[in-house]
Structure 1
Amino acid sequence: MRESHTSYHLCALCLEVSLIMSAKTTSTFLPNTTSLAEGANYSGTVQKAEPSYALLKFMESFCLISSASGMVGNGTVLWYLGFRIQRNCFTVCILNVAAADFGYLLCIAIETVQCLMHCNVGVQFGILLFLDLFTYGTGLYLLTAISIERCLSVLCPIWCRSHRPKHLSGIISGLLWSLSLLLNMLGYISCTVRPSSNCHILLITTGVLDFLFCTPLMLVFSLTLFLKVKCSSQHLQTGRLFTLIMLTVLFFLIFAVPLSVLILFDFWGYKFLYSPETGFVLSCVNSSLSPVLYFIVGSYRDRRIRLTLRLAFQRAFKDSADDKDERESHKQ
Structure 2
Amino acid sequence: MSALIATSLPLAKTSMDPGASLNDTKTEMEASYAVLKFMESFCLLSSACGMVGNGIVIWFLGFHIKRNPFTVYILNLAVSDFGYLLCIAIETVQYLMQFNVGVQFGIFLFLDLFMYGTGLYLLTTISIERCLSVLCPVWFRCHRPKHLSSIMSALLWALSFLVCGLGYISCSVSTLHNCQQILITIGVLDFLICTPLMVLSGLTLVFRVCCSSHRFKTGRLFTVILLTILFFLIFAVPLGALLLLDFWNYKFLYSPEIGFVLSCVNSSLNPAIYFLVGSYRDRQFRDTLRVALQKVFEEEVNFRGERETASAELEMTTTTQ
TM-score (norm 2): 0.85
Tell me which residue corresponds to 1:330.
none
1:237 to 195, 217, 238: 217
1:40 has 2:40 as partner: no
- Report the alpha carbon displacement of residue 100 of structure 1 after superposing the two structures with TM: 0.3
Indicate if the aligned counterparts of 2:276 and 2:285 stay in contact, CA closer than 8 A. no
Relative to its length, the structure with more helix (as a share) is 2
Indicate if the aligned counterparts of 2:239 and 2:260 stay in contact, CA closer than 8 A. yes
Structure 2: runs of 5+ lacking an equivalent: 14-20, 307-321
Aligned partners of 1:305 and 1:280: how far apart in 2?
30
Tell me which residue corresponds to 1:268.
248
Deviations 1:52-97 (A, max 9, x none): 2211111110000000111001001000000111111100000000
Tell me which residue corresponds to 1:203.
183
Deviations 1:179-225 (A, max 9, x none): 00001111101102454764344223212210111000000000000
What residue identity is the alignment partner of 1:99?
A: V
What residue identity is the alignment partner of 2:154?
A: G
CA RMSD after TM alignment: 2.7
Indicate if the aligned counterparts of 2:183 and 2:247 stay in contact, CA closer than 8 A. no
1:151 has 2:131 as partner: yes
Residues 125 and 302 of structure 1: is their aligned pair in 2 closer, same or farther, counting only changes over 3 Å? same
Aligned partners of 1:150 and 1:38: how far apart in 2?
59
What residue identity is the alignment partner of 2:161?
A: L
Indicate if the aligned counterparts of 2:180 and 2:247 stay in contact, CA closer than 8 A. no
Aligned partners of 2:305 and 2:159: how far apart in 1?
37
Aligned partners of 1:268 and 1:198: how far apart in 2?
13
Indicate if the aligned counterparts of 2:8 and 2:253 stay in contact, CA closer than 8 A. no
Tell me which residue corresponds to 2:3.
19
Residues 294 and 34 of structure 1: is their aligned pair in 2 closer, same or farther, counting only changes over 3 Å? closer
Tell me which residue corresponds to 1:328.
none
Match runs of 1:1-332 below 5 Å? 19=3, 31-32=9-10, 38-40=22-24, 52-195=32-175, 198-304=178-284, 306-317=286-297, 318-319=299-300, 322=303
Tell me which residue corresponds to 1:23.
none
Indicate if the aligned counterparts of 1:252 and 1:286 stay in contact, CA closer than 8 A. yes
Aligned partners of 1:297 and 1:218: how far apart in 2?
21
The more displaced of 298-307 and 262-271 is 298-307
Aligned partners of 2:199 and 2:135: how far apart in 1?
16
Aligned partners of 1:271 and 1:30: how far apart in 2?
8
Report how many aligned residue pairs link the two structures: 298
Aligned partners of 2:286 and 2:37: how far apart in 1?
38
Indicate if the aligned counterparts of 2:113 and 2:164 stay in contact, CA closer than 8 A. yes
Structure 1: runs of 5+ lacking an equivalent: 1-16, 21-26, 326-332
- Identity, % of aligned positions: 66
